[in-house]
Amino acid sequence: MKAVHFGAGNIGRGFVGLLLHEAGYEVVFADVADALIDQLASTPSYEVHEVGEKPTIKTVDNYRALNSRSQEQDVIAEISTADIVTTAVGPNVLKFLAPVIAQAIALRSDDLRPLQVMACENAINATDTLRREVEQAFDGPASDLTARAVFANTAVDRIVPNQAAGQGLDVTVETFFEWVIDRTPFEGNAPDIPGATYVDDLAPYIERKLFTVNTGHASAAYFGYAAGVEKIADAMADDAIAAKVRAVLEETKQLLVSKHGFEAAEQEAYVQKILRRFENQHLPDTVVRVGRAPLRKLSRKERFVGPAAELAETGTHPAALLEAMQAALSFTAADDPEVTALAEILATQEPGEATTSITGLEAGHPLHAPVRELIAQHSPGHHTA
């Protein structure tokens, strides 16, 4: 069995590539990072250090590595005979992979089982995005594409912090991971990947992860930054900060239970598991790294405004989420272009306009006014009109 995985970075090697290796696949890593690919191609194995509860070290071997820029035809040839293609490159990069995948699908023999394609990105329905790009790039009848490839959405979760200098190809990750896959496109032929969870409806799990893990992680970062704390784990060791994060996740729990029908006890257990992950002192994650890209994190469908807006629409005042948004508005990082862009909006737009620019909330939405009050506090002269 063979899997081609785009993205040989820490997530690719320490999460997706690891699980595919453990499932018995020969993994072909494809990436445009010359030095990384050269190192992988010349090294027979690397180690994944899982830290936290029940730490362990796992060895990954039986892989190859190709440069997807300079060895594009080789990558196409590998995909044309592969069983699985996965990605961990960032959702904005998927459009650049699509032509390569499309050409490979066109070359596949009709005798092969359909290629199973899964984008493992930190974005909702990323595989659908990839599929649309492949459809546009595919040179042939749509029926051929349908017959030769299956696209399944996934939700992935594993904290992979910045790595210590000198680790080489070895990766440090947390022990916890979650890879949830929509089983329905496979029509009974889903790949056997130990550790993956297959479900019939992925949407609740995507939102549960986004509104618990991502919301909680960013909340810890912004509250921690405001308190002058450097690491996420140290922020969670501060009772006052931990209480604020817990309050945020109480609000998102309320939404998830009512919207998706999760049992309250089940969601509470999930929240407690996530909080323990944030407290993991073995993960050197900093509040600055996790807090980066505040504009994206404050956008309409993201981790703060998304759940807060839905709660406001039901008449619930999301006080804790609003407090987290206030902290996000105060976040700074010298080398983060989104911090600069956010500051520009706050400095040049009146609060109502800035609220819509930052959050996507229109003036008539029940969350617009309370967010506008927060933004007014960051505007020159503290505008109130």
pLDDT tops 90 at residue 165: no
Segment 253-300, tens digit of pLDDT: 999 999 999 999 999 999 999 999 999 988 888 999 999 999 999 999
CB 125 within 8 A of CB 177: no
Cβ contacts of 234-243, under 8 Å, gap ≥ 24 = 235/287, 236/275, 236/278, 236/279, 237/279, 242/275
Q: Give the pLDDT confidence score for residue 152 in this predicted structure.
A: 97
Residue 225 structure tokens: 């930054």
Residue in 309, 361, 319 with CA at minimum distance from that of residue 372 = 361
pLDDT confidence of 381, banded at 50, 70, 90?
A: low
Q: Give the pLDDT confidence score for residue 274 in this predicted structure.
A: 95
pLDDT tops 90 at residue 379: no
Q: What percentage of the chain's residues is helix, strand, coil (to nearest 5)?
A: 50, 15, 35
CA Rg, the chain, in Å?
Answer: 22
Segment 24-77, tens digit of pLDDT: 999 999 999 999 999 999 999 999 999 988 899 999 999 999 999 999 999 999
Which 8-state DSSP code applies to residue 115?
E
Residue in 120, 158, 194, 121 with CA at minimum distance from that of residue 280 = 158
Cα angle: 204, vertex 207, 210; to 5 degrees: 150
Q: What's the mean pLDDT in 210-224? A: 96
Distance, in Å, from the CA atom of 136 to the CA atom of 138, rounded to the nearest integer, reads 6
How far does CA 302 lie from the centroid of its chain?
11
Q: Give the pLDDT confidence score for residue 380 in this predicted structure.
A: 76
Question: Between 249 and 382, where is the model more confident?
Answer: 249
38 phi and psi angles, rounded to 5 deg: -60, -40
Q: Give the pLDDT confidence score for residue 160 in this predicted structure.
A: 85
pLDDT tops 50 at residue 150: yes
203 phi and psi angles, rounded to 5 deg: -55, -45
DSSP string across 39-72: HHHT-S-EEEEEESSS-EEEEE-SEEEEETTTTH
Q: Give the pLDDT confidence score for residue 383 in this predicted structure.
A: 42
Mean pLDDT, the chain, as a whole number? 95
Q: Give the pLDDT confidence score for residue 164 in this predicted structure.
A: 75
**Could you tell me which residues come within 8 angstroms of residue 214 by beta carbon, excluding any fewer than 6 positions away?**
122, 302, 303
Segment 290-331, tens digit of pLDDT: 999 999 999 999 999 999 999 999 999 999 999 999 999 999
Categorise residue 52: left if φ over 0, alpha if ψ from -120 to 50, beta otherwise.
left
